Amino acid sequence: MHSQTSSDSGEVFASDLDMAPASPELRRSPRGHATPAVPSSPSSMTAKCARQRVAQLEQSLAAVKAKVRELTEETTQLRAANKAQEQLAANLSVRIAEERIQRSILRQEYDVIFALSKETQREAEDAVSSIFGGGQLLPINRDKLACIECPVCTHGMYEPKIYVECGHSICGSCEQKTSRLGPAHCPVCLILARRSPIAVHELATLLSIIIGQMTVAPTTSTDDTTSDGTSIPDGSQDPDADSIPDDSQDADADSIPDGSQDPDADYILDGSQDHILDGSQVSV
C-alpha cells in the first residue's frame, strides 16, 4: 500500500510537473522527471540586457530625431510665414504713407476747386440777383431750393419745366415720361398744354430780357434841344447851319415847294431835325 501511494505520489508529481510551465532553470529528463538546468553566467546576462537596453535607446533616439525633424520643418515654415508677414506689413506701411500723401494732395486740390466753385456760384447768384432785382442783390437760400420737390414724383426738382398755360412746374424726367404718353397735359391739373413746357432757365432768360427792356430809361424829350442845351424851334435846321426859314432851300439850288430836302444840303426843310419828336433818333 505504501508503494502504491509512493507510485501514486510519483505519478502525481510527474503530472504536476507536466502541467507546470517550463522553467529555464529546469530541464526534463528522458524519464519525464524535471531536473534543474545549469544557470547562465552573469556576464552573458549583463550583455543581453545591455543589448536590449541599447536597442530601446536607439528606438527612442530615432523617435526623438523624427520629432526634431518635424519640429524643425514647422519652425522653418513659421519663420518663412513670419518673414512674409513682415514684408507684407512693410509694404502696407509704404502704401499707407503713399495714400496719405495722395489724400493730402487731393484735399488741397479739392479745397482749391471748392473755393473756385463757391466763387463762381457767388458770381452767378450776384448776376441773377442783379438781373431780377433791378440792380439790388436778392438773397438766394440754397437749402430751401434743395427742398423743392417735384409734385409728380416727389423727388428733387431736376431740370424743372414749367407749363405756360397753368404755371405748374415738374421735373424734366416726369416731363419726358408725360410727353411719351400722347398729347401733352399738365400732370398736376390735367390742362391741355398747347405748347411744350419751358425750361426754367429759358423762362429766366425771357424775364431778364423783359426786365432789361423795362429798366432802360426812355430817350424821349418834350423840348427839342441841341447837345449844348440850345433850344431849336420847330422848323429850324441843324444848329451848325445858318437859320433858314421853313419851306426855304439852298441858295444855289432850285426851289423845292414840297418842303423836301436838297440832296446837297445838311438841313431838313420840312421842319424836322436830327431828333424826331417821338424821341427816337434818326440813324446817320
Question: What is the predicted pLDDT for the residue at 260?
Answer: 45
Pick the more confident residue, 152 or 141: 152
Rounded mean pLDDT of the chain? 66
Question: What is the predicted pLDDT for the residue at 213?
Answer: 60
Pick the more confident residue, 128 or 226: 128
Closest CA to 239 of 248, 230, 247: 230
Cell matching residue 133: 432785382
d(CA 200, CA 210): 15
The pLDDT of 244-256, averaged and rounded, is 46
Burial of 161 (0-12, 13-18, 19+ CB in 10 A): buried
Pick the more confident residue, 86 or 42: 86
What proportion of the chain, given as a percentage, has pLDDT over 90? Answer: 18
Judged against a pLDDT cut of 60, whether residue 230 lies above it is answered with no
142-160 residue pLDDT tens: 555 556 778 888 777 777 7
59-92 residue pLDDT tens: 999 999 999 999 999 999 999 999 999 999 999 9
95-118 residue pLDDT tens: 999 999 999 999 999 888 888 888
Domain spanning 142-212 has what CATH number? 3.30.40.10
Domains in the chain: boundaries: 45-140, 142-212
d(CA 88, CA 95): 10
Cell matching residue 91: 509694404
One DSSP character per residue, the chain reads -HHHHHHHHHHHHHHHHHHSPP-TTEEE-TTS-EEEPPPPPHHHHHHHHHHHHHHHHHHHHHHHHHHHHHHHHHHHHHHHHHHHHHHHHHHHHHHHHHHHHHHHHHHHHHHHHHHHHHHHHHHHHHHHHHHHTTTS-----HHHHHT-B-TTT-SB--S-EE-TTT--EE-HHHHHHHHHTSS-B-TTT--B-SSPPEEHHHHHHHHHHHHHHHHSPP---SS-B-TTS-B--TT---TTSPP--TT---TTSPP-TT----TT-SS-SSS--SB-TTSPBPP-
Judged against a pLDDT cut of 80, whether residue 51 lies above it is answered with yes
Judged against a pLDDT cut of 90, whether residue 245 lies above it is answered with no
Distance of CA 262 to the CA centre of its chain: 76
170-219 residue pLDDT tens: 888 888 887 777 667 788 888 887 777 777 665 555 555 655 665 554 55
Partners of 231 in the beta sheet? Answer: 225
Question: What is the predicted pLDDT for the residue at 272?
Answer: 42
- The listed range with the strongest mean pLDDT (173-187, 233-247, 255-269) is 173-187
14-28 residue pLDDT tens: 444 444 444 444 445
Partners of 34 in the beta sheet? Answer: 28
